[in-house]
Structure 1
Amino acid sequence: MSEEGEENQLRNLIPGLPDEIALDCLVRVPYRFHSTLKSVCHGWKDLLTHPSFLRHRKIAQKQESFVCLVQAVTTTQTAEIADSTPEKEKSQIQFSPPVYGLTVYNASAETWHRIPSSPVLPSGIPMFCQCVAVAGKLVLIGGWDPTTLDSVADVYVYDFIHGGGWRRGAPMSVARSFFACAVVGPAVYVAGGHDNQKNALRSAEVYDSDSDTWRDLPRMGEERDECQGLTCGDGRFWVVSGYGTENQGRFDSGAECFDAARSEWTRVEGVWPFPNASPRGSCCEIPRREGEQITRMPLPSFPSVWFVGPSSGGSMGRNQGLREYDEKDRSWKVTVQMPDGICSSPCATGIKGGIFVIGCGGSEGGPHRFRACVLDGGSRKWAHVDTPGEFSGFVYSASSISL
């Protein structure tokens, strides 16, 4: 929309008030009331669904941070059983196969809710799908069909801006699961993973959420199953570690990064020195706050900050926590210890100026209870997040969005 078209939206928003003041009032309304605002009149609906409204909220510093989680649904009753059952009897409890849902944590209001199911997803949220946020939308990609347990090429899009609701997106060219996925600018990149025969993949493709189309990319130099995708300050897409079909569970120390301008992959050695540990879900980038220089940021040619949590095999050593990658020395340095109450299976995502992490709480929270914490990127202090029992299930993937 042109600047003139945008100006036309800002006319007579609230009778008797100058439009500048009316807009300043509307951008201060919390996101949970936006669906009500859109029902007031066509003018308000057009304004709230236009990209400029998010820009105005950002300028006014009224945007809210949301964390979206592909999470195993845990009922309060299940959580109570896990907490109260003696350790020696836990192996005898018969639980049904996990059902996944989409959990949303409002980090600004400190509230939790679960996105309702939809006929668009007849079998529910795919198991082990990747979730990424782009342009006010959440995109779920790939994973396993909950009924057949086959890898899928499916894509589902949840639109936060236009009142919520699911739609089916264009599928990937191949079915894949346990793949690398990241947003670079307005595009969603995917690479690697494995197919229905558990063969590791070299293929890669990119998704345009506006046109709902996929485009194939050149193949990576190596097969990479259980790899991790990250973005980079200069717009490159990183695919970290993973393993080939013949090297199940032995994670490669290198990474490959894709340069869109040159349309080619480059291998980088020595990025992942943990051969028995998967980088999946435990690495992320910390976005900067507006106008703030976060201390101890690594070189801009590499992803900003990586979080690496404990592994089941303990291959990262006893000194586990937030590790930052020093590109010059090609080494990982622990700068912040793991928060109390999280001992394994962490999943992390960057939020404004920090990291949101959710992981197994150990004996203090029950072995099947997951709890969350937020790391402030400036002070490097952890803050515990109150995690209700129904939102304490295992999290496979996470993404953040500002609205």
Structure 2
Amino acid sequence: MGSLFPCLPDEIGWQCLAREQLSSHHTLRCVCKSWNAALKNSHFYEERKRLKSSEQRICVVQYIEEIGYRVAVYDPEKNSCKSLAPIPAEIDGFPDCYFMKQKLVLITDMFDDSTGICVWLYDFPCSKWRQGAKTPLDFGGEFASAVDEDGGLIYIGGGFGRASVYNVEEDKWDVLPDMNTHMQCFTGAFADGKFYVMGISFRSFEVFDSYTRSWTTMENRFNNWHCFETTFGHLHYLYVRGLIEHDYSQAKVNIVGTFPMEYWGRIIDFAGLVSNKIFVGFYYPFEAEGFYMLSPPSETGGTCKLIGIERPSGLQGFVISAATLDL
């Protein structure tokens, strides 16, 4: 790779570069071949995390009527937004997005008549899109997805009761056993080695154990929730009136925080974690989509405190999904 700095050991030069702000990385890559190679190395971003120099952003998939789908990166500290390069294909449905190993991963349907789920990956160090392997199964355009960050895996389940898992590093799919139930309108989550699939209008949901590779059915006592794994220590769900904690060790749920009454019944579009807060989008029929930061109930005595965010110019469209970046 060559010397990073004259008269300095590379391990020191590596740490100097790793402490630079994310906004300067594009310029740093243009300085010389050695710096360009260093900033495109996945270990560079691991070093930033180790040094606590990494910065969090929120990547959002938007739908804009005039141009279709667009991916933008939102900086919550500066309340600014920057678009990524256009996705090099027409996509359809409601794409899910995840971030792992310095890549943004989109799980989506294609706009043409082909069947199966398509994967698009954006490599942040290289600033390029590439298409991943296609699922061997047809989900009929209806599916839930969730990410196992430690394993580098993305689970898919839903349409026609089918399920599959995608390995990001190997770019391979593995077909899983069929679910017990055929559901519609899905949301999904992964926690403690288990993949949860929920049909919005169903009184039960399914859980896939990645160790035993088997499905079980559990009671669903709440409708209309958006689920995800949080940094609050447990799997949580956002539902129409607040925040629910799922204690998967005892197979029960508890309401741990409630929204202010004026937000009851509003539809939750997406949620993404930023440090110890949740970036969440609400909308109500015939009203504009609103963005908020949600504080954990432990800080607010059981009430979910919502702080409104002024919508920056780069977030004009309807947000479909969001993922937290740590670069």
TM-score, normalised on structure 1? 0.70
Q: 1:398 aligns with which of 301, 306, 322?
A: 322
Say if 1:54 and 1:253 are closer, same or farther in 2 by CA, change over 3 A: same
Does residue 345 (structure 1) correspond to residue 296 (structure 2)? The answer is no
CA distance in 1, matches of 2:104, 2:83: 14
Q: Paired residue for 2:197, among 213, 228, 239?
A: 239
Q: Which residue of 1 aligns with 2:154?
A: 188
- Aligned residues with identical type, % of pairs: 28
* 2:119 counterpart of 1:155: yes
What does residue range 96-107 of structure 1 map to in structure 2 within 5 Å? 99-107=68-76
Q: Distance in 1 between matches of 2:155 and 2:251?
A: 28
**2:28 counterpart of 1:37:** yes
- Greater strand proportion: 2
Identify the match of residue 306 of structure 1 among 234, 237, 243.
237
Measure the CA separation in 2 of the matches of 1:13 and 1:286.
38
Q: CA deviation at 1:325?
A: 3.2
Query: Which residue number in structure 1 is paired with residue 83 of structure 2?
Result: 114
Relative to structure 1, the CA distance from residue 127 to residue 241 in structure 2 (aligned partners, 3 Å threshold; closer, same or farther) is closer
User: What TM-score, normalized to structure 2?
Assistant: 0.85
**In 1, distance between residues paired with 2:56 and 2:173?**
28
Q: Deviations over 1:333-374 (max 9, x none)?
A: 141425978972322123332211012278xxxx44222112
The 5-angstrom pairing of residues 2-401 of structure 1 reads 12-73=3-64, 99-118=68-87, 120-121=88-89, 123=90, 125-143=91-109, 145=111, 153-162=117-126, 164-176=127-139, 177-184=141-148, 185-193=151-159, 201-232=160-191, 234-242=192-200, 251-268=201-218, 270=219, 272-274=220-222, 277-279=223-225, 282-287=226-231, 294=232, 297-298=233-234, 303=235, 305-308=236-239, 310=240, 320-326=241-247, 328=250, 330-338=252-260, 344-346=266-268, 347-360=270-283, 367-377=286-296, 379-380=299-300, 381-401=305-325
**1:61 Cα offset (Å):** 1.5
Report how many residues are paired: 317
Return the alpha-carbon distance in structure 2 between the equivalents of residues 98 and 253 of structure 1: 38
Taking the aligned partners of 2:20 and 2:318, their CA distance within structure 1 comes to: 33
Cα RMSD after superposing both structures:
2.9
Q: Runs of 5+ in structure 2 lacking a partner?
A: none
Deviation at 1:206, TM superposition (A): 0.8
Assess, with a 3 A threshold, how the Cα gap between structure 1 residues 35 and 115 changes in structure 2: closer, same or farther.
same
Q: Which sections of structure 1, spanning at least 5 residues, go unmatched?
A: 1-8, 74-95, 194-200, 243-250, 288-293, 311-319
Contact 1:361 1:371 in 2 (8 A): no
Amino acid at match of 1:323: I
SS in structure 1 at match of 2:44:
helix
CA 1:13 to 1:331, structure 2 compared with 1: closer, same or farther past 3 Å? same
- What per-residue deviation string (whole Å, max 9, x for no partner) do you get for residues 247-270 of structure 1? xxxx222222222222211222x2
Given that residues 169 and 212 in structure 1 are in contact (C-alpha distance below 8 angstroms), is that contact kept between their aligned partners in structure 2? yes
| 334 and 27 in structure 1: CA distance in 2 versus 1, 3 angstrom threshold | same
Does structure 1 conserve the Cα–Cα contact (< 8 Å) formed by 2:83 and 2:314?
no
Cα offset, 1:181, TM superposition: 0.5
Q: Separation in 1 of the partners of 2:275 and 2:202?
A: 31
Q: Name the CA distance, whole Å, in 1 between partners of 2:143 and 2:9.
A: 51
Quote the offset at 1:36 in angstroms.
2.2
**Larger radius of gyration between Structure 1 and Structure 2:** 1
Q: Secondary structure at the match of 2:237?
A: coil
